[in-house]
């Protein structure tokens, strides 16, 4: 069966006037299956949001492509785009800027149905009520405006709108980052519930590793536009392979004073390089604590490809020898 979403050698280069070209997404490939939840992590400027915008078709790729059910977005005509909008929806970070303050909740959540000319007004109203219920908002919310809600409830409104057309894939760009800690857990649980209930697939972007862990079945790590590791969630958190993934995980402060006193942290040296002038070879090498372990300064000279490390797991790092071809040396299934 073809993947719901297949991203193939996708690149996006931005060219500003008089500025150096910036390669925000650099030769990225991955697949997303139905019902799967892929968490995308990386520092700011790593290209996470650009990748999200390419996937939903808000940006056109410079090269490579995004295939949905095997069909490239680039080949879409008007009708195909229209139907794609029903299958893929987006949830944004800031509900304050992604909800129209002059529309009632009903108008906001109903709008996708109106645009797609789905249902009569009465049917649409009951659909909106159904959606509000699914995201945990009371029916009296219908006639209210976004400002009458707290941040967490506003994010629920944004999620209800994204669900209006019963999409297969939700692309969520930092959907809990603007929320308070006590509310964040509510919304993360909601994402879990909705996935189980509607069989949704997620592309879930966040710089918050704990949030990603709570909702993802698989995690991909980006550095300067490149995918450096992709693994099942439990494996990535238990044994991150790429040195950047290791540093990232070790940098997360733990709510445990005793652990914090004894825990060894990987502190990176130096600043993240300018994305407009990425270093040669491996983009992470100037900050990589492990680069001296690789002989012949290979990290500076040669860009590592994303290669299979074990079934379901891939890493782009010279530290790891490529997996032998199947049949030679059986690798234990870890999933």
Kindly state the greatest CA–CA separation across the chain.
70
Span near other proteins by CB under 8 A; candidates 13-21, 23-31, 74-82, 248-256: 248-256
Q: How far apart are CA 62 and CA 47, in angstroms?
A: 14
Candidate residues 2, 43, 70, 311; the one interacting with other proteins per rule CB under 8 A: 43
Q: Is 246 in the site for other proteins (CB under 8 A)?
A: no
**Residue whose C-alpha is closest to residue 184's, from 157, 145, 214:** 214
Q: Is 261 in the site for other proteins (CB under 8 A)?
A: yes
**Residue whose C-alpha is closest to residue 224's, from 34, 7, 6, 47:** 47
Using a 10 angstrom Cβ sphere, with 0-12 exposed, 13-18 middle and 19 or more buried, the burial of residue 226 is: buried
Q: Is 209 in the site for other proteins (CB under 8 A)?
A: yes
Using a 10 angstrom Cβ sphere, with 0-12 exposed, 13-18 middle and 19 or more buried, the burial of residue 269 is: exposed
The pair of structure tokens assigned to 73 is 């977005």
Q: Is 226 in the site for other proteins (CB under 8 A)?
A: no
Beta-sheet strand order (sheet of 63-68): 22-32, 5-14, 63-68, 71-72
Q: Is 133 in the site for other proteins (CB under 8 A)?
A: no
CB 295 → other proteins: shortest distance, Å? 26
Question: Is the Cβ–Cβ distance between 271 and 251 less than 8 Å?
Answer: no
Q: Is 97 in the site for other proteins (CB under 8 A)?
A: no
The pair of structure tokens assigned to 226 is 């490149």
Candidate residues 115, 259, 293, 307; the one interacting with other proteins per rule CB under 8 A: 259
CB 46 → other proteins: shortest distance, Å? 9
Span near other proteins by CB under 8 A; candidates 103-111, 114-122, 177-185, 294-302: 177-185
CB 189 → other proteins: shortest distance, Å? 6
User: Which lies closer to other proteins via its Cβ, residue 117 or residue 261?
Assistant: 261
Interface positions with other proteins (CB under 8 A): 43-44, 150-153, 180-186, 188-189, 192, 207, 209-211, 213-214, 233-234, 237, 247-261, 265, 267-268, 271-272
């Amino acid at each position: 069966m073809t993947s719901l979403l297949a991203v193939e050698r996708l690149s996006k280069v931005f060219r500003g006037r008089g500025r150096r070209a910036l390669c925000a997404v650099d030769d990225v490939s991955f697949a997303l299956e139905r019902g799967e939840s892929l968490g995308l992590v990386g520092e700011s400027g790593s290209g996470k949001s650009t990748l999200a915008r390419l996937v939903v078709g808000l940006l056109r790729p410079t090269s490579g492509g995004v295939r949905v059910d095997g069909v490239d977005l680039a080949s879409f005509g008007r009708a195909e785009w229209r139907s794609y909008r029903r299958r893929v929806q987006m949830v944004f970070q800031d509900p304050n800027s992604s909800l129209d303050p002059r529309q009632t909740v009903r108008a906001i959540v109903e709008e996708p149905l109106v645009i797609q000319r789905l249902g009569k007004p009465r049917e649409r109203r009951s659909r909106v009520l159904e959606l509000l219920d699914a995201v945990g908002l009371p029916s009296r919310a219908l006639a209210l405006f976004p400002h009458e809600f707290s941040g967490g409830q506003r994010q629920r409104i944004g999620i209800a709108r994204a669900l209006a057309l019963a999409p297969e894939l939700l692309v969520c760009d930092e959907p809990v980052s603007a929320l308070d800690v006590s509310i964040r857990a509510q919304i993360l649980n909601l994402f879990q519930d909705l996935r189980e209930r509607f069989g949704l697939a997620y592309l879930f972007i966040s710089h918050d590793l704990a949030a990603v862990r709570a909702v993802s079945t698989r995690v991909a790590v980006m550095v300067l536009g490149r995918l450096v590791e992709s693994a099942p969630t439990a494996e990535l958190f238990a044994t991150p392979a790429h040195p950047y993934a290791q540093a990232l995980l070790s940098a997360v402060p733990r709510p445990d004073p005793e652990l914090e006193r004894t825990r060894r942290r990987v502190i990176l040296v130096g600043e993240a390089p300018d994305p407009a002038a990425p270093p040669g070879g491996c983009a992470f090498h100037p900050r990589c604590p492990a680069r001296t372990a690789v002989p012949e300064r290979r990290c500076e000279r040669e860009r590592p490809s994303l290669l299979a490390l074990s079934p379901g797991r891939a890493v782009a790092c010279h530290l790891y020898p490529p997996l032998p071809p199947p049949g030679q040396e059986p690798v234990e299934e870890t999933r």
